[in-house]
Amino acid sequence: MAEIGKDLEVAKEALEKGGLVAIPTETVYGLAANAFDEESVLKIFEVKDRPSFDPLIVHVSSLAFAAKIVEEIPESAEKLAKAFWPGPLTLVLKKNESIPLSVTSGMDTVGVRVPNHPISLALIKSLDFPLAAPSANPFGYTSPTQAFHVNNQLGSKVNYILDGGNCKVGIESTIVSCVDNKVVVLRLGGLTVEEIENALGRPVDDIQTSSDKPTAPGMLSAHYNPGKKIIIGNIDHNLKKFPRARVGVLSFKRTFKNLNITKQFALSPKGDMQEAAKNLFGSLRKLDTRAVEFILTEEVPNDGLGRAINDRLLRASQKK
Ligand code: AMP
Ligand code: MG
């Protein structure tokens, strides 16, 4: 198991020596390494068992630092960065030669963002390199939203886990590509499409998050899975189909009579979508540890953050 703590000096030293440090962000915990150093970056892929075709997001401390690692910041990207950074928005931009191709899976674009977490922002500001950091989980698994989630799965493989408590947003960043004069949403996430369009003052050009026509190597249909089979649909109906002893339930708001309370979680009993997003991955992980064979779940109302939650539930329910 790794050491878990809040010591920025320990984290800084490990990163400067080319090591891996798990960092808290407002979205999920990241597995961070020096983005300028190819050897350090390759360790991320190894530890996560992540295919080399799945690019990493680079975390910087400011828009000014982002400008140092890309060819240019188009007007649309500048507008979005000024509106939402630090925050759950990743911008895909044309990279310059400072970023090794191993970070971007050989592409000429890089995903970059300023995370909104005081501890990680202080860490990144103290370093003279940005941090490449995908979610700190084995590839294809549910993202971690607490330090112990990271420790349970990757504890023996990282140098240090910076503890920043429970992630406030709980779902990954929204990814928006701003290359070739187009604004295209590549992944739904913690920032809604409505918020993005409001800041732009116009609709986005496209939303290409469907796994049927992947536009980003990382847009895999099967992802975020906690381990057990997940069945999405009408929970009342599915409870009749399966013997109760064998199912766990993840509902949006409701609790179910005659079902052991340790085997059911409501994402937000009051129907608050932000609370639902925050609880999503942690609840899936808890249900995965219960003595159940399947997890029955349902879609949440499909607007705002609900679209990102439904996206994760759908991918988590796909067979790997
Ligand atoms: P994770 O941090 O684990 O959610 O993974 C980062 C995700 O960001 C990848 O799976 C990709 O989908 C996306 N990503 C990173 N860089 C790029 C890029 N240059 N172009 C498109 N998508 C990207
Ligand atoms: Mg991930």
DSSP letters of 89-126?
Answer: EEEEEEB-TTS-TTTTTT-SEEEEE----HHHHHHHHH
DSSP strand E in 143-183: where?
160-162, 174-177
Q: Model confidence at 226, in pLDDT bands (50, 70, 90)?
A: confident
Query: Which atom of ligand 1 lies at the shortest distance from residue 109's CA?
Result: 19
Type of residue at 268: S
| Predicted pLDDT of residue 320 | 61
Run of H or E including 289:
helix 273-289
Give the tokens for residue 179.
């290359």
Please tell me whether residue 13 adopts helix, strand or coil conformation. helix
Say if CB 134 and CB 30 are below 8 A apart. yes
| Predicted pLDDT of residue 244 | 81
Give the tokens for residue 66.
């982002």
| Predicted pLDDT of residue 292 | 93
Residue with tokens 């895999």: 220
Q: Where are the domains of the chain?
A: 4-207, 229-317
> Ligand 1 pocket check: which of 48, 59, 92, 154 to mutate, most ligand atoms within 8 Å of Cβ?
92
CA dist 195 and 139 (Å) reads 30
* Phi and psi at residue 170, to the nearest 5°: 85, -5
Does the predicted TM-score (pTM) go above 0.75?
Answer: yes
**Cα 240 off chain centre by:** 34
Q: DSSP string spanning 198-214?
A: HHHTS--SEE---TTS-
What is the arithmetic mean of pLDDT over 34-46?
98
pLDDT tens digits for range 290-303: 999 999 999 999 99
CATH architecture of the domain with residue range 229-317: 3-Layer(aba) Sandwich (3.40)
Residue with tokens 């991955």: 281
Strand 206-207 relative to strand 184-187, pairing: parallel
CA dist 25 and 288 (Å) reads 24
> Ligand 1 pocket check: which of 57, 58, 71, 101 to mutate, most ligand atoms within 8 Å of Cβ?
57
Q: Does domain 4-207 sit in CATH 3.30.420.40?
A: no
Distance 263 CA to ligand 1 centre (A): 33
pLDDT tens digits for range 150-164: 999 999 999 999 999
pLDDT tens digits for range 124-134: 999 999 999 99
Type of residue at 89: L
- Average pLDDT for the chain: 94
| Predicted pLDDT of residue 50 | 94
Q: Model confidence at 212, in pLDDT bands (50, 70, 90)?
A: very low
Residue 208 CB coordination number (10 Å)? 15
Run of H or E including 69:
helix 63-69
